[in-house]
Amino acid sequence: MTKSVRKALPLLVAMGLALAQASLERAEALLKAGEYAQAAIAYEEVLAQDYGRFEAHLGLGVALFRLGRLEEARFAFDQMTRVFPDRYEGYFNLGQVQLRLGKPREAAEAFAKAVELRPTEEAYLGWASALTQAGQAKEAAEALRKGLAPERTPAYRLALAQALYASGARAEAVPVLYGLLNQAPQSAEGWELLARILAEEGLKERALRELDRGLRSVQGKARARLLLRKALLSTSPEALLKEAYALDPSLWEAAYLLGQARLAAGDAKGAVGYLLAAYRTNPDPQVALALAGAYTQLGDPKNAYRYAEEAGPPGGFLKAQAAHALGKKAEALALLQGVGTPQAQALQGAILLELGRYDEAQGVLRPLYEAGRDPQVGVNLAAALLGLRRFGEAELLLREVLERAPKQAAAWYNLALALRGLGREAEAERALAQAAALGSLEAKSLLRR
C-alpha cells in the first residue's frame, strides 16, 4: 500500500500543473478576446490551484481594471506585490489603480517602489503625476529631475517643465523647455508654457515672439492653444480668439473669452452663444456666472436664475435679482443677507419697500444714500419715508435728489405725494405735471382723475 501511494504522488502533481496551465491559457485567451468578466473568473481558478502564478495575478488585475472594478483590481495588484515583492509590474499597476481611485499618496508610494525596481520612464511619470495630484509639486519635480536621462522622450521633459512651473521654479523650467522644443518643435504645450513663463517674468514681447515661432512649427488643431495664449497677451485679442475657436471648438477658454468680449461690448445676445458653447465643454462656475449676467441683460430671469445657481456663492447677487424678477421676494431677501455691496443693499431696500416693510427699508437705504448720494437710492429712501408718513423728511430728501437729477421722473412723482401729504395741493399738482412730462405713467393716471 505504501509503495503504491509513493508512486501515485508525482503523477497527481503533474496533472495539477497541467490543469493549471490549461486554465491559464484559457484565461489569457478570454482576456485577449475582451471577455473580461469570464477571464477574471478563469484567472481566479488558476490562482486557486497555484497562488504562485505570476501571469494569473497580472491577468486578474488587468481584467478587473478593464471591467472598472477598481477596488477588486487594487486588491489583486496588492496581492501581486506581496507574492512577488521584487517584480516591477505589481507596483506599477497598483499605482495606476490607486490614481484612478483618487488616492494619489498611496499611488505615489507604489510608483516609487516601481522606480526602485526598474527606473522606467512610465514609472517616473506615474510617480510625478501622483505627487502632483497629492499637492506635492516640488517633490514631483525632484522625482522627474532624478530620472532625467538623455534617452527621455519629449513627453518626459514636458512633464518635468510642468512640475517645475507648478512648484514655483519657473526659471529652472525655461532651459528644460528650450531643450524640449529643440528636440520636438511641434510641442504646442511646450511653446505655450514657455510663453506663459516669459510673460510672468515681465518679458511679454519675447513671449509673443516665441509664440510666433511656435505657430510656425505647430500644425493643425494644436495651434489653437498657442493662439489663445497670444490672445491673452494681446491688446486686440478678438481675431486671435476667433481663429483659435474655429480651429478647436472644444477650447472652452476661447469661447468664454469671446463671450466676455461680447458682453463688454453690450452684445448680450451675441455673448450667449459663445458662453453656452464654453459651458457645454466645461461647466465651470465662472462660465455660469457670465451666462447669468448675459441672461440678466437679456431680461430672461428664468435662465439667469438657473446659471446664477450653478455659479455658486459668486452668483448670489444675480440669483437674488432673478428671484426678485420671478416674484420670489422672500428668497431674494434671504440671498441678499450678509451681502454688503451697494447693489445688494439697494435691491434689498427696494424689495422691502415692495413688501411694505418701510421701517426696515429706510434702515437699509439711509446709510447707503448718505454714503453715495445715488439718486435712485434717494428716491427709494423717500418712498420708505412716505410709507412711514414722514412727509416733511421725504420732501427735503427729494428736493436734494432733484438738484442732482432734475429729470428723475420718480423723484418728481414722490415729491408730489409728499406735498399732498403736507396739504400743499397746488405744489403737488405742479410736481405731478413735471413727473408726467418726464414719462411717469403713475403721474399721468393721477392727473386724469
Smallest CA-to-CA distance from 97 within 74, 131, 81, 75 is with 74
pLDDT at 4 over 50: no
pLDDT digits (tens, 9 = 90+) for 328-356: 999 999 999 988 899 999 999 999 999 99
pLDDT at 21 over 80: no
CB 207 within 8 A of CB 238: no
Kindly tell me the number of DSSP H helices and DSSP E strands found in the chain: 27, 0
Long-range contact list for 101-110, CB < 8 A, 24+ apart? 101/70, 101/71, 101/74, 104/130, 104/131, 104/132, 104/133, 104/134, 105/130, 105/134, 107/133, 108/134, 108/136, 110/81
Which amino acid belongs to residue 92?
A: F
Question: What's the pTM?
Answer: 0.76
Smallest CA-to-CA distance from 155 within 188, 195, 197, 109 is with 188
pLDDT at 394 over 90: yes
pLDDT at 86 over 60: yes
CA distance 388 to 198: 63
Tell which wins on pLDDT, 62 or 18: 62
Let me know if residue 48 belongs to a domain: no
Same domain, 331 and 378: no
pLDDT at 167 over 80: yes
Q: pLDDT-derived band of residue 9, with 50, 70 and 90 as boundaries?
A: very low
The CATH number of the domain holding residue 386 is 1.25.40.10
Let me know if residue 108 belongs to a domain: no
CB 368 within 8 A of CB 377: yes
Let me know if residue 226 belongs to a domain: no
Last-in-domain residue among 321, 339, 357: 339
Average pLDDT, the chain: 92
Same domain, 325 and 280: yes
Same domain, 335 and 374: no
Please list, residue by residue across 26-43, b when 16 or more beta carbons sit within 10 angstroms of its beta carbon and e when fewer do.
bbbebbeeeebebbbebb
**pLDDT value for 340:** 83
Same domain, 329 and 371: no
pLDDT at 419 over 50: yes
Same domain, 293 and 375: no
Last-in-domain residue among 301, 324, 339: 339
pLDDT at 19 over 60: no
pLDDT at 305 over 50: yes
Same domain, 306 and 381: no
Report H helices in 250-357: 252-264, 268-281, 285-297, 301-310, 316-325, 329-336, 342-354
Let me know if residue 449 belongs to a domain: yes
Same domain, 293 and 373: no
**pLDDT value for 10:** 38
Half-sphere exposure of 22 (CA within 13 A, CB side): 6
Same domain, 322 and 390: no
Same domain, 386 and 335: no
Let me know if residue 309 belongs to a domain: yes
Domains in the chain, number: 2
Residue 411: domain span:
366-449
Half-sphere exposure of 395 (CA within 13 A, CB side): 16
Let me know if residue 358 belongs to a domain: no
CB 317 within 8 A of CB 343: yes
Let me know if residue 106 belongs to a domain: no
pLDDT digits (tens, 9 = 90+) for 131-162: 999 999 999 999 999 999 999 999 999 999 99
Q: pLDDT-derived band of residue 5, with 50, 70 and 90 as boundaries?
A: very low
Let me know if residue 104 belongs to a domain: no
